[in-house]
Amino acid sequence: MMNYKKHVVIIGGGFGGLNAAIKLSKSDVQVTLIDKRNFHLFQPLLYQVASGALSPADISFPLRAIFKNKENVNIINGSVKDIDFSNKNISVDYYNINYDYLIIATGTESNYYGNNNWENFSTGLKTIENATTLRNKILTAFEKAELETDVDKKRKLLTFAIIGGGPAGVEMAGAIAELSKHTLSCDFRNIDPSQSQIILIEGGSRILPMYPESLSSKAENNLKELGVKILTNHFVNNITEDFVELKFNNNLSEIASKTIIWAAGVKAESLSKIIEKKINLKLDNASRVIVNQNCSLSSNPEVFIIGDLANFKDDKNTILPGVAPVAIQQGKYVSKYILNEINGKTNKSFKYLDKGSLSVIGRKSAVAFRGNLKFFGLSAWLVWLFVHLLYLIGFENRVLVAIQWAFNYFTYNRSARLIANSSK
């Protein structure tokens, strides 16, 4: 009689789910990885796809290719419709899958804080579709401005409003500034792209509020050198097809723009609502699931929530941020925890090792810190390059991205400046 292999189902092929699957693929358990996409996406570089520096394939890698030599790993391309936690069963489109252990790592989506209609007039930066839509909008704006004779309409087309002064907003603002000031500066005959307005809007008192104040100041100065206008203490009051309405000291103002980018916050994906309903637990204000110190649910210890979907508090009672290093470490930890439990070994609580934070501003500058260590400029930018290449999945992707970055660095050229589906 064949020995029964424990079945671990993983929902989500992002950083957390992928790293859990990779570790489990080297063991004697059966693994099923479910994702609505058929690829792993390197989200930190989405802004480079949006600005034409990289192509979608450069930051994506097919999940089946990653596990093609791992016979104990099965990939299902589909969406989870329901989870029966009592009977340990998952409904995926038209399939039902049983599990012994379940790891949920579905990530986040843009959070419009109850103003869901704003999504119709602004674009987030969480998916490949978001990035290619933004690339189309940005490049199309320049093309339309080239033919526009009305001064006000032309100004509106050449104004790019980025809402949110966190890392995503800062990196996007820097990328658009370099695109307009350098890459496209000589490409048009009737407009001067370098005269475009790039406006970064932040509700707090400074950009990169999670960074030390000195680094926030460095980042602000670097962006201003690139021509980015920064508005702090400004809150979004409304977004339409043609403008962003801002509130500052109880006064309202408008920024006319045809390209509005939303980088002001995220929330856990809708799967958390299924968990909330099925187990009758409470979510936090970002729709995250509150988990134990081993990333499991109190009511269902065989179910683990990791990455952006998890509200995990460290020893200082601080919720871990929704960043790739947290998801990666939790994915590796949970997979080891499951294997230890199967083999009758003891387990420890999850401890996050903070390796620091990085944010790039333009072509050769960045800010970074780890603990009390702070650095900026070219040295931080080089660290950023190394770290991002290290985290990319697939040797071919690393080589191609490294070559593309080198080419962009020396020429300012962005070869992925393609407008696709412009008729839509």
Q: Which residue has the higher pLDDT, 107 or 197?
A: 197
How large is the angle between the packed helices 15-24 and 324-342, nearest 10 degrees? 30
pLDDT in tens, 253-300: 999 999 999 999 888 888 888 899 888 888 998 899 999 999 999 999
For 270, the 3-state DSSP assignment is coil
What is the structure's pLDDT at 411? 64
Cα 362 to Cα 51, 369, 391, 405: the distances in Å are 11, 18, 20, 12
pTM of the model: 0.92
C-alpha 161/C-alpha 234 separation (Å) is 13
Amino acid at 326: V
Report, as an integer, the average pLDDT of 92-97.
92
Report, as an integer, the average pLDDT of 201-206.
98
Q: Is the pLDDT of residue 412 over 70?
A: no
pLDDT in tens, 226-238: 999 999 999 999 9
Q: Where does the pLDDT of residue 1 fall: very low under 50, low under 70, confident under 90, or very high at 90 and above? A: very low
Contact 272, 309 (CB under 8 A): yes
pLDDT in tens, 174-199: 999 999 999 998 899 999 999 999 99
Calculate the average pLDDT of the chain: 93
Q: Dihedral sign for Cα 302, 307, 309, 313, please.
A: positive
C-alpha 295/C-alpha 103 separation (Å) is 9
C-alpha 306/C-alpha 298 separation (Å) is 14
Q: Torsion angle, CA of 30/36/41/47, rounded to 10 degrees?
A: -160
C-alpha 361/C-alpha 218 separation (Å) is 10
Nearest to 191 by CA among 238, 233, 151: 151
Q: Is the pLDDT of residue 423 over 80?
A: no
- Structure-token pair, residue 372: 């009390």
Q: Is the pLDDT of residue 400 over 80?
A: no
pLDDT in tens, 330-373: 999 999 999 999 999 999 999 999 999 999 998 778 999 998 89
Residue 107's φ and ψ, nearest 5 degrees, are: 80, -155
Phi-psi category of 113—alpha, beta or left, where left has phi over 0 and alpha has psi -120 to 50? left
Q: Is the pLDDT of residue 66 over 90?
A: yes
What is the structure's pLDDT at 206? 98
Q: Is the pLDDT of residue 85 over 50?
A: yes
Phi-psi category of 9—alpha, beta or left, where left has phi over 0 and alpha has psi -120 to 50? beta
- Structure-token pair, residue 39: 């690829």
Length of the chain: 424
Rounded to whole angstroms, the maximal C-alpha distance in the chain is 80
- DSSP character at residue 145: H
Instruction: Give the catalytic positions in this structure.
Output: 171
Amino acid at 380: A
What is the structure's pLDDT at 391? 83
Q: Which domains can be identified in the chain, with CATH numbers?
A: 6-36+78-110+267-343 (3.50.50.60), 116-264 (3.50.50.100)
- DSSP character at residue 345: -
What is the structure's pLDDT at 410? 59
Rg, C-alpha atoms of the chain: 22
